[in-house]
Amino acid sequence: MSADRQGDVSKEAKQESVLLRPLGTAAAPGQELVCVFGTGDMGRSLGLRLLQSGYAVVYGSRRPHSCGPLPQGAQATGHEEAARSAALVFICVHREHYDFLETLAPQLKKKVLVDVSNNLKKNLYPEANAEYLQRLIPGAHVVKAFNTLSAWALQNGPSDANRQVYLCGNSDEGKQAVAEVATKLGFTVLDKGSLSAARELEDFPLQLFPEWRMPLRVAVGLTASFFFYLLIRDIIYAYVDQGKDVSFRIMVSLANKVFPIVSLIMLSLCYVPGVIAAFLQLYRGTKYRRFPDWLDRWMLCRKQLGLVALAFAFLHVLYTLIIPIRYYVRFRLSASTISQIKENRTSVFDTTLAWRADSYYSMGILGFGLFLLLGITSLPSVSNALSWREFSFVQSKLGYLTVFFCTFHTYLYGWDRFLQPYGYKWYTPPAYLLSLVVPSLLIVLKLLLLLPCVNRSLMRIRQGWERNDAEDGSARVLLT
Amino acid sequence: MSADRQGDVSKEAKQESVLLRPLGTAAAPGQELVCVFGTGDMGRSLGLRLLQSGYAVVYGSRRPHSCGPLPQGAQATGHEEAARSAALVFICVHREHYDFLETLAPQLKKKVLVDVSNNLKKNLYPEANAEYLQRLIPGAHVVKAFNTLSAWALQNGPSDANRQVYLCGNSDEGKQAVAEVATKLGFTVLDKGSLSAARELEDFPLQLFPEWRMPLRVAVGLTASFFFYLLIRDIIYAYVDQGKDVSFRIMVSLANKVFPIVSLIMLSLCYVPGVIAAFLQLYRGTKYRRFPDWLDRWMLCRKQLGLVALAFAFLHVLYTLIIPIRYYVRFRLSASTISQIKENRTSVFDTTLAWRADSYYSMGILGFGLFLLLGITSLPSVSNALSWREFSFVQSKLGYLTVFFCTFHTYLYGWDRFLQPYGYKWYTPPAYLLSLVVPSLLIVLKLLLLLPCVNRSLMRIRQGWERNDAEDGSARVLLT
Amino acid sequence: MSADRQGDVSKEAKQESVLLRPLGTAAAPGQELVCVFGTGDMGRSLGLRLLQSGYAVVYGSRRPHSCGPLPQGAQATGHEEAARSAALVFICVHREHYDFLETLAPQLKKKVLVDVSNNLKKNLYPEANAEYLQRLIPGAHVVKAFNTLSAWALQNGPSDANRQVYLCGNSDEGKQAVAEVATKLGFTVLDKGSLSAARELEDFPLQLFPEWRMPLRVAVGLTASFFFYLLIRDIIYAYVDQGKDVSFRIMVSLANKVFPIVSLIMLSLCYVPGVIAAFLQLYRGTKYRRFPDWLDRWMLCRKQLGLVALAFAFLHVLYTLIIPIRYYVRFRLSASTISQIKENRTSVFDTTLAWRADSYYSMGILGFGLFLLLGITSLPSVSNALSWREFSFVQSKLGYLTVFFCTFHTYLYGWDRFLQPYGYKWYTPPAYLLSLVVPSLLIVLKLLLLLPCVNRSLMRIRQGWERNDAEDGSARVLLT
């Protein structure tokens, strides 16, 4: 399960030792020759893999005779000669040094140049490396590829997150040629279209869960604030008011209040933007106008919001289920039994309470089950297998059902608690009440949208209808 | 996680604003020109996306000058002219209006026509829209594509369930051309073969979990009947017989009886057809003869049956785990303790009971664990990574092990209960006994099939051997 | 969910009956003709499917007139004639009988030969069947394909583990032609490169979880040894020492000690090799040297080690959560309460104990949650969607966090228990202490590697730097 890179190194070594034998026939006529510019780690790793896959490799280098250790079986020559020798040239050079390539323009004419370069950070340069390369050597077929793989994968071939080679370029035959090499190297190829996609490909290896940032920030923020809110109300208050030290409650009781609250709020937060958008469209009378940025960004991370909420719900479930094995709970229970006997009280069974408690649990379980279902359908391989009608059915219909169950679950938890004064320690409302604000609001607004009249006009707008006449409409499109 | 469509609209708007700049160079020489027939929502959405991806778009329209708002950068002309101008024509017109295309046959000759149309319901027409189109314009290369995407995805590009463009057609160059456009638009392409697959593609967007219908109906049916059965036995009986109101048991106790029962029955239901089929093949002495329809339909939804059963098992687990935190249970426990003390009874520890209870739980847990494993291996991406030998090992070997564990779990639950008269309220057998019928039968039959003699001849039949002589055999194939 | 094969047969039958109608027009001009050598089950199944998909099929056979039942619509002729008739020939013959093909070399020249053969066991022959075939008929374009599908899938088309057709070959047009057929038959095609990949493809259908063998052996070994260790300490000791029969504890209490122990050890076992490799690289001062075999093998099954560990952790969780509903536990609890009252003891609440118990549970839950996350990201479709930077972040950073949580969880469980003499029955240390050895060691070593100085030089080595001078370096590569 670990992706430590050394594993691959050794694998490389192994394949090497396995595959070096065929390389005895390196000069075989059938064997294809490819050229690699650059003898850094990138160039060497790639060359090694190419040799292993049965290619002949020529390195192009400034100092062909002192360019450090090369994978065995590879030759090294000057750039011109290397460029001349092969139809396919891998550019394993940092963008900073591309300029020297300009001088090779004549030799590289009609050649396929594979730009495998990456930058250290995004937006370092006005244009993508590959586009810059194409501009330097207009006569060549520049293809962006292999840059989304780690140097390790270039040495060792496919492994977990390094199975696919994304490529893009303006020349189809160029892409075709690179695709064949990638396949021979054991990767699966994904064509991303024209060279204009190069920027996207160059940013890919730099990204670290970009679309998860915002949801995680929200989660951390909510968790922290509710944690302190509850710390004050439950722990500190008890200490100040009755001098009791119940600090141990932090570990489970308090956590198990924070998790469900955050989960419920975040779950509803991924349906709120949809409702807002709907009202915006109704107000504007058209779907052909862009939304404010904040709304866009919000919408684009709904899936992540939901999955983080699911994680919190999962923790809530586990924290709830271990309650009965807690020392504290067992102690309290037996204590109450003992006191009952000592004081010879006889407690009577309260059917309403039983009803309420049980339905409270049922709602929670059903809500969590549905929530899990939403999570499963958002797995790439599952959502790909669904028709969009099925997907939107699951995500919106079942999604709202989940919101409803979970909200109802919380209402049942609260029951009439909000009436009791002791709940308002230091004049602060109980936390669960705060958690109910967003979902309750959401449900109300959604119900409004479902009113036949409202729903009808919304549908018409979504089918392309515009309240104003055509000219004006197109004009508006022009304005955006 | 939500797939509400507005999100995409806004995304569209955003991309638009981002991408409109390059469109300044709409007349750029390198830029490809495509034609779109029809200026409805479909046509506009597609055109918008095409423009964003750097294509020049010409709309073909009856009334080029009054055809409503068009995405900016697009021209509109008459059909003939538009058809002449581009090599690729998107037909975004309802099938009802295809006839006018016949008149354009000469202009559309040798052109690639992309049929993106869908119907409102299945089997509305004798032949697929795309095939109809091909018949109207035999000289054109008709390709069915993009119809499986929502209009939203056509505007906005890939999103969860809208990543793949399925296409089919009789002309390879035609498909090639469309595939390139789809890739440039950011989708991944899946070739579904010849135009005869068009019907399938046109039905795809209409489907709403077709293969889940039957399993869900079975689940609902079983749940309802067992619910009422238990309602009568557990709640109503208690009320009539002892005047006790135990209605609160509905929420958890009763549910937690219904779920496992339905789960066990449905789990075994996905192995029953296999056994039936085996016996049929043994009886017929050949595998080259079709099964009765009901058996076929049953077999094709086994996976879904299993997954629904897993969902019920999951609920059963959660409902079981919350038992100890239920008010009712806690009350009963402390009550019993108290009564013990009052009456000064000393209960002795029953080792047999402990053995039984613990193995009952163990079996349940192991069964559920295996069941979950089956569920995971049926995820598309996982089952694709397995060789069929591995897959069938997991699904049949481990599958039957799961059935065995769960059945044994139920037997341990029942233990000697079926002997006690009080179990037969109003002369009805306890529900768990009913749930054991199918799985027990299944296990017995499976064991029969595993008898060496039976198994051997079954294997031979499955390897293509036929009991009767060849001619007769082929004849039979002819008959099917 | 079941993959019993009969299901497919019947499906086949159905499709057949559905699809035979078009075959009325079998002689249609547009229809492509393919040839199948061999009339065994493989040949018949494939032919059936080809006919269903609209191909005309000619069987090549020794005895064209008595070659058993053929799918209807197919003709049978002699080999020469059949070979002449079609451009594409499926070789559905056992490798043993390939030799006769040599005589057909002239007729098969320039033809595409599809080798669908499999062997009964690995490494039966020096070279892959397909390569052998190519050697026999150098003039033909040999393509290895369809062999990874079950005969059932060849009859019935895609189903769970039979969706993808892997193919390889030296001739691109050959592969192209086969890919088209595969697509028409409803499969998705995966090009695996040159014919040298044939061996891999031929081994694929034979494999039964090869990379899972070692992890499962480890799991079984650990489980067995710890089971007996605990059996002696907990059950037998109690019987010998106090003559108490606590055998019932085997089912849950004992199992719930074995599972977490095995899980923790195996979890750390998938990070140990990475650490060893790092130290090896530091010692050698280069990454360009292969590791000992045992280390390689260990590294290549880390993912599986982790997933097995996760399964054990999952069982541990369930076994823990059912504790409070166990008869034994309930009995003990009420017994203690009763005794308390009888002896009129008043137990005082121990805050430290509460703290400890609760943090113990918290650590466990958080550890399990993270562990589950690791499991999810190792699903093919998920890891494919991650950039390798993201993947390695999750798997190594979060992975070590998981190890830490789980180890801490175990330490909290032990607390000061290791000090108490009664823990060392028969001078054996408590099992949990044994389980802590590996993870503790791992964490210490990892911390060593994180020391700035150590870490820096390791990073340099991983970026391709070598301690010794270039010549020597390349020399070493040569030596490997």
The predicted-structure confidence for C135-184, as pLDDT tens digits, reads as follows 999 999 999 999 988 877 777 777 777 888 898 998 888 998 998 888 88
The predicted-structure confidence for A306-351, as pLDDT tens digits, reads as follows 999 999 999 999 999 999 999 999 999 999 999 888 888 878 899 9
Say whether pLDDT at A395 is over 90: no
- For residues A81 and A33, is the Cβ–Cβ distance under 8 A? no
- Residue C30 banded pLDDT, cuts 50, 70, 90: low
Q: Once rounded to an integer, what is the mean pLDDT over residues C125-130?
A: 91
A248: nearest CA in chain C? Answer: C355
Which structure tokens are listed for C274? 């990475």
- Residue B347 banded pLDDT, cuts 50, 70, 90: confident
Average pLDDT, chain B: 85
Q: Do A334 and C340 touch (CB under 8 A)?
A: yes
Q: Model ipTM?
A: 0.85
DSSP state of C307: H
Q: Once rounded to an integer, what is the mean pLDDT over residues A426-435?
A: 90
Residues 6 or more apart from B132 whose CB is under 8 A from it?
B95, B98, B125
Distance (Å, rounded) from C-alpha C337 to C-alpha C341? Answer: 6
Say whether pLDDT at B248 is over 60: yes
3-state secondary structure of A436: helix
Domain residue spans in chain B? 8-206, 211-469
The predicted pLDDT at position B72 comes to 81
Chain B, residues 72-131, CB within 8 A of chain C, namely none
Q: Once rounded to an integer, what is the mean pLDDT over residues C420-432?
A: 86
Average pLDDT, chain A: 85
Sheet holding C112-115, edge to edge: C75-77, C56-60, C33-37, C88-91, C112-115, C141-144, C164-169, C188-191
Q: What angle do CA C306, C311, C316 make, to 5 degrees?
A: 120
DSSP state of B266: H
Q: Once rounded to an integer, what is the mean pLDDT over residues B330-347?
A: 88
Is the whole model's pTM more than 0.80, yes or no?
Answer: yes
Say whether pLDDT at A164 is over 90: no
- Which parts of A380-436 are beta strand (E)? none
The predicted pLDDT at position B30 comes to 59
Q: Once rounded to an integer, what is the mean pLDDT over residues C119-132?
A: 88
Residue closest to A2 by CA, chosen among C270, C382, C268? C270
C71, C255, C324: residue with CB nearest B477:
C71
Chain A, residues 435-454, CB within 8 A of chain C, namely none
Q: Under CATH, what is the fold of the domain B211-469?
A: Four Helix Bundle (Hemerythrin (Met), subunit A) (1.20.120)
C162, C249, C315: residue with CB nearest B365:
C315
Q: Is residue C27 left, alpha or beta, with left meaning phi > 0 and alpha meaning psi from -120 to 50?
A: alpha
Say whether pLDDT at A475 is over 70: no
Distance (Å, rounded) from C-alpha B154 to C-alpha B135? Answer: 27
Say whether pLDDT at A479 is over 50: no
Chains that touch A (3 or more CB pairs under 8 A): B, C
Q: How many residues does chain B have?
A: 480
Say whether pLDDT at A5 is over 50: no
Distance (Å, rounded) from C-alpha B162 to C-alpha B205? Answer: 11
- Residue B122 banded pLDDT, cuts 50, 70, 90: confident
Q: Could you tell me which residue, A187 or C111, shows the higher pLDDT?
A: C111
Q: Which of B362, B398, B408 best probes binding to C when mutated, by most C CB atoms within 10 angstroms?
A: B362
The fourth-level CATH superfamily of domain A8-206 is NAD(P)-binding Rossmann-like Domain (3.40.50.720)
| CB-CB neighbors (< 8 A) of B193 in chain C | 53, 183-186
β-strand partners of B144: B115, B168
Q: Do B480 and C6 touch (CB under 8 A)?
A: no
- Residue C468 banded pLDDT, cuts 50, 70, 90: low
| CB-CB neighbors (< 8 A) of B333 in chain C | 330, 334
Alpha helices in C139-271 (DSSP H): 151-156, 172-184, 198-203, 210-230, 237-242, 255-269
Chains that touch C (3 or more CB pairs under 8 A): A, B
A399: nearest CA in chain B? Answer: B2
The minimum CA-CA distance between C251 and chain B, rounded to whole Å, is 6
Chain C, residues 336-375, CB within 8 A of chain A, namely 336-337, 340-341, 347, 349-351, 353-355, 357-359, 361-362, 365-366, 368-369, 372-375
The predicted pLDDT at position A473 comes to 42
